[in-house]
Amino acid sequence: MLGIERSAEKLGAAIPSNEEVKKAISFLTLTDQKRSGISLLTGGPKYLFVPSSRGRFLVDFAWLISSLHYLFLGVPFPPDSLKGKVLETFVGGSKSVLPDGECKGLDGQSREVDAAFERGKFLIIVECKANARSIAYDRGDLNALIFRRNKFEDALEQVDDKAKWLSLHGKGTNYDIRQYEGILPVVVTPFKEFMPSLSSRYWIEKKRPRVLLPTELERLLAEKEIEDIARQCTSTQFIPLDIYVR
């Protein structure tokens, strides 16, 4: 346990119990039950500990990094109520400028935005979709491909609806966005998604999709020309000028 104690100290983490260590080793060990999930098409999942003869194990350091790619396979994401907070942490602690929970319009209607970030005269609103890691998707299974596409298509429709609604409801009972010029709606997912066409619906600009990884969103928010990028994106919803004088 000495090595574990030193590792925990360097990571600033609590020292795990013997039972926790056993569970971690079991999780990283190849078993007969886990063999069915391995595919030549994906090259994984890979396991650090591989059973050998006479109760011995091989430690496969060659694939140590690759084995981490499937570390969260089957692990559910936190509840929807936590998505915005997790996203804020991902993008460097930037605070969402819209309320936690629903944005309540003056007409009694409402919409809930996972996160919204201010950049100059524009808001970038984000719909978070945390689909689980799928081996079937990595294999190119048609049903899995259709399932994941439907998920991010729905997410794009939802965030577009929220951007349009906000552009027409510049002031509510718990928010006021009348100082902004427009709203750029994007989707964030934990895994890279394939954009099915070059249609402007799927792209913020050339080579920058509207379905982003958290790190890609962070880079977008750091762009010096982000106002011009938002202004030229066909998915941006502009706030009508008459909202400013209401």
Q: For the segment 115-154, what is each residue's pLDDT rounded down to a tens digit?
A: 899 999 999 999 988 776 677 777 778 888 898 899 999 9
End position of a domain, from candidates 25, 43, 70: 70
**Exposure string for 169-206, b = 16+ CB within 10 A, e = fewer:** bbebeebebeebebbbbbbbbbeebeeeeeeeebbbbe
Domain check: are 88 and 175 in the same one? yes
Question: Which is more confident, 79 or 208?
Answer: 208
- How many domains does one find in the chain? 2
Give the pLDDT of residue 7: 84
Give the pLDDT of residue 135: 72
Domain check: are 201 and 111 in the same one? yes
Domain check: are 175 and 198 in the same one? yes
Domain check: are 55 and 154 in the same one? no
Domain check: are 50 and 131 in the same one? no
75 lies in some domain: no
Give the pLDDT of residue 91: 59
Q: Is the pLDDT of residue 35 over 50?
A: yes
E strands, 82-226, in order:
102-104, 110-112, 115-119, 122-128, 182-188, 203-205, 208-209, 211-212
By three-state DSSP, how is residue 175 classified? coil
107 lies in some domain: yes
Domain check: are 129 and 241 in the same one? yes
124 lies in some domain: yes
Give the pLDDT of residue 242: 65
End position of a domain, from candidates 23, 49, 70: 70
Domain check: are 123 and 225 in the same one? yes
Cα separation, 61 vs 123, whole angstroms: 45
Domain check: are 6 and 119 in the same one? no
Domain check: are 41 and 16 in the same one? yes
Domain check: are 190 and 104 in the same one? yes
Give the pLDDT of residue 86: 67
End-to-end CA distance of the chain: 67
Domain check: are 199 and 92 in the same one? yes
Domain check: are 239 and 124 in the same one? yes
Give the pLDDT of residue 227: 97
What is the reported pTM?
0.74
Domain span at residue 54 reads 2-70
Give the pLDDT of residue 208: 97
User: What integer best gives the mean pLDDT of the chain?
Assistant: 85
